[in-house]
Amino acid sequence: MGEPILVTEVGPRDGLQMSHSIMPTQVKIRWIEAMAKAGVKEIEVGSFVPPKLVPQMADTAEIVEASLGIPNLHVIALVPNLKGAQRAYECGAHAVIVPVSVSEAHSRANTRKGSLDQVEEVRHIVDWARTQDRPMKVDAGCATAFGCSIDGDVPESRVVEVATALAEAGVDSMALADTVGYGNPAQVRRLVRAVRAAVGTKLKRLHLHDTMGLGIANALVGLEEGIRCFDSALGGLGGCPFAPGASGNIVTEDLVFMLESMGFDTEIDLDALLKAREILQGGIPEETLLGNVARAGIPPTYRNAA
């Protein structure tokens, strides 16, 4: 058995929020079911944000509720604030992820708050969640940690400062997110080390975009640095409506191919994952799906790690 790696599918949230058409709710549910059946253990199924800003996410309550009926699936929703977290809790989500952008300009565009004010919002969410009957994990994503299309450079000291504040606010875990996909492997290594030195194992995952084609290389360096959880999107969809220039997430199929080929165990069946692409494509026929595994086919040399 290879060492386990958690691949968290973010396509239903990060991917669909940028699609030109709105995927019908029933197709979203069938798509999520198909990915779970392929072995995906954790899915970010939607976000509780104002539907007038992100109409693709208007059915998130229904999607969360349907996803809870899928056996062994950890259901995550993105929430920008306490109100969103309360809605996620009411719907039964297992965890929420709260974005905190390290870039001030992106933070204001995304949540209308500065970075440290958004950390305070996270603290309110944590404090509120801890008083509820049912446990709900509160994770945070340090967005634009590797650069910003509005602000440009994001100082690493600033990322460490925000991460430290989030740890003090009591989050269960956090991600470093390359929201616009400007990061490079050397930067990933430096930043993972710096943030780990500040917050230890609270830094759990990487959320990478492939804007410059370095997403998989960045994931590999994260892996070498001990990261064992990665976000990715089927078909490489994704982007941020409030971060101009961002393109899609790293491609789930390609990430699984790399990890399994290297002997890590994702428990995901690549063939079944490719079949789930057909449902995704059917739901948003005008979108171009990306991915090398889908283009080339699974090579005969491929073996599952397990």
How many residues form the binding site for Zn ion (CB under 5 A)?
1
Q: Which residue has the tokens 């089927």?
A: 234
> Smaller CB distance to Zn ion: residue 17 or 81?
17
Least distance to Zn ion from the beta carbon of 78, Å? 9
The residues that bridge with 177 in the sheet, in sequence order, are: 207
Residues within window 10-49 making contact with Zn ion, judged by CB under 5 A: 14
Residues near 65 by Cβ (< 8 Å), separated by ≥ 6? 91, 92
- Closest-approach residue to Zn ion (CB): 14
Provide the residue count of the chain.
306
> Smaller CB distance to Zn ion: residue 14 or 253?
14
Confirm if 187 and 155 have CB atoms less than 8 A apart.
no
264-to-192, 194, 228, 236, 255 alpha-carbon distances in Å: 20, 25, 10, 21, 11
And the tokens for 65?
């509720």
| Candidate segments 8-16, 33-41, 162-170, 261-269, binder of Zn ion by CB under 5 A | 8-16
| Candidate segments 7-15, 52-60, 80-88, 211-219, binder of Zn ion by CB under 5 A | 7-15
71-to-238, 267, 270 alpha-carbon distances in Å: 26, 15, 19
> Smaller CB distance to Zn ion: residue 28 or 207?
207
Least distance to Zn ion from the beta carbon of 31, Å? 18
Least distance to Zn ion from the beta carbon of 152, Å? 19
Q: Which of 262, 259, 191, 251 is nearest to 228 (CA)?
A: 259
Least distance to Zn ion from the beta carbon of 172, Å? 20
Pairing label, strands 229-232, 203-208? parallel
| Candidate segments 9-17, 83-91, 215-223, 262-270, binder of Zn ion by CB under 5 A | 9-17
Query: Any contact of residue 287 with Zn ion (CB under 5 A)?
Result: no
Residues within window 177-206 making contact with Zn ion, judged by CB under 5 A: none
And the tokens for 289?
């799906």
Residues within window 155-174 making contact with Zn ion, judged by CB under 5 A: none
3-state helix, strand, coil in the chain (%, to 5): 45, 15, 35
> Smaller CB distance to Zn ion: residue 14 or 260?
14
Residue type for position 136 = M
CB atoms within 10 A of CB 33: 17
Active-site residue, selected from the candidate residues 91, 142, 148, 240:
240
Phi, psi of 250 (to 5 degrees): -60, 150
Q: Please provide the distance, in angstroms rounded to a whole number, between the alpha carbons at the two ends of the chain.
A: 5
Does the active-site annotation cover 240?
yes
Least distance to Zn ion from the beta carbon of 32, Å? 18
The residues that bridge with 176 in the sheet, in sequence order, are: 142, 206
Least distance to Zn ion from the beta carbon of 146, Å? 12
> Smaller CB distance to Zn ion: residue 89 or 242?
242
> Smaller CB distance to Zn ion: residue 232 or 266?
232
**Residue positions annotated with a catalytic role:** 240
Residues lying near Zn ion in the complex (CB under 5 A): 14
